[in-house]
Chains A and B, each alone.
Chain A
Amino acid sequence: MKKVEAIIRKSKFSSVKKALHEVGVNFFSYWDVTGLGNEKEGHVYRGVSYSTSDIQRRYLSIVVNDDFEEVTIKAILSAGSTGDVGDGKIFVSQVDEVYRIRTGEKGGNTLK
């Protein structure tokens, strides 16, 4: 099992969600995050220019069976991209075990 984590633009969230549903990834967690990156957002306030270092993004955490890894990543890559700096990152890592709390069963079946 793999954990696919992605930091994406908030504006791309709905298209990424739709793309994930289309490849059969139906449940995952997400939350709003603030981070630093290469992108600088230029602002002017009362005649003073400044750039915000706090970049608002959405963080997705998706745990899938190994055979879903590739389609999940492809879905995010294609649906989450604008081509500009600041589109975000995907991290993939190994997950040792998964339990379903309701029944106590474990393993890949719990992700279906």
Chain B
Amino acid sequence: MELLTINNVWMMICTALVFFMHTGFAFLEIGLTRQKNTINILFKNIFIITVGLLLYYMVGFNLMYPGDFNGFIGSIVPGISPPENGMTAEYADGGYTWWTDFLFQGMFAATAATIVSGAVAERMKIGAFMIFTVVYVGFIYPIAGSWQWGGGFLSSLTIGDAEGFYDFAGSTLVHSVGGWAALVAVYLLGARIGKFNNGTSQAIPGHNIPLATAGVLILWLGWFGFNGGSVLSANPEATSLTLVTTCLAAAAGGVVAMITSTILYKNLDLTMFLNGILGGLVGITAGADQMSPEDAILIGAIAGALIVFAVSLVDKIKLDDPVGAIAVHLICGVWGTLAVGLFGAKAGVDQFLVQLIGVLCYAVFCIATSFLIIFALKKTMGIRVSEREELEGLDAHEHQMDAYPDFRLNEH
């Protein structure tokens, strides 16, 4: 009982840390976008965490952890009720109580839609975004999650020595699930007015870099819970190793992104430094409990370099991603998932193949479902605000509010 109590306290702390990540996402997104869209972004983030949690209660949790099921899609059972042994050490090997299980997973669920929020910032209709969020967080995320964490077909996919796809805390299940939808949404939405003039990419600087910096540090802190809690108990060795690999990868990602962008662009760009930290964190997430410190630094470092090239690649193919969500969550999410087959305790050709198959399954499912949802919205209610609304700001039109009523607006 004492061990269960200790385990459960750690898991509740981790739950709180993952909750706090929503503050980090909100700060990062408003920091890297313009003042005139601040209320809109905050509104979306608050909508995601509130509605996301209720949806997870209503359908998400049961869809994601259906118990015995066909391996592809669970059944919709409304509401939650704990099993008989849910509060005893019999449940989940005494790692936490069933209530904690629900809340910890519920905090994760909303993250996938938050990733999309940043990518579509400054031009997507709030109504369309809300509908997308309800469908994606309520149904798509839990179904995708059930394939692996719910004991579905990917968790038992065996090739040679490799037994099962491995995604410790969600490089794929959370980050690239959000990242694929971000990619599709950005493609269907089109770029912000003024982002590409005469075929060349233009800078649209974010309005509050200090807030973006605070957001990234908060996210890093939140990752202590995101990865640390994914141990699913307070196991001393596993939790402390996980925090070490998580932090080393974050640091390496930041430093390498900073060096790479300085060499390429001859300036010390803080926003790339920040994205590099996030890239390192997303990259280590799939294998945080499987890596040595050296592996973690390498995985983070490669993620940091990938970030810089991915941001410029996204620009080159004329996709407009204001906060770098595709580079951070999709590219580094895929990288981190594949890295489980290249580094650490599970490394091997067979594991790499299983990881690759997993990545492809999620790519197909997430691209197809998010395309269907957003394309349907585009053809019915429309997904993009009018040109005037975009130029004058979504705050003024969608919300009739100012984030900073006493400040002057810069025209850029």
Contact = CB atoms under 8 A, between A and B. Distances in A.
Interface of A: 43-50, 52, 54
Interface of B: 201-205, 261, 264-267, 269, 271-272, 308, 311-312, 315, 324, 410-412
Contacts of A45: 203-205, 269, 271
B209 to A, nearest CB: 10
Contacts of A52: 412
A52 B411 CA distance: 10
Nearest to B275: A46
A44 B267 contact: yes
Contacts of B272: 46-47
Given A47-B272, A47-B312, A54 B203 contact: no
B109 to A, nearest CB: 30
Contact of B324 (A43, A46, A49): A46
Contact of A54 (B202, B264, B266, B410): B410
Main secondary structure of the interface of A (DSSP, over half): strand
Nearest to B327: A46
A47 B315 contact: yes
A47 B410 contact: no
6 contacts: A45-B269, A46-B269, A46-B324, A47-B269, A48-B201, A49-B203
Contacts of B311: 46-47
A54 B269 contact: no
Contacts of B410: 54
Contacts of A50: 202-203
Given A44-B267, A47-B265, A54 B411 contact: yes
Given A45-B271, A47-B272, A52-B412, 8 more contacts: A44-B203, A45-B269, A46-B271, A47-B261, A47-B308, A47-B312, A48-B315, A54-B410
Nearest to B324: A46
Contacts of A44: 203, 265-267, 269
A90 B68 CA distance: 82
A54 to B, nearest CB: 7
Nearest to B322: A46
A46 B324 CA distance: 9
B412 A48 contact: no
B269 A48 contact: no
Contacts of A48: 201-203, 315
A45 B266 CA distance: 11
Contacts of B264: 47
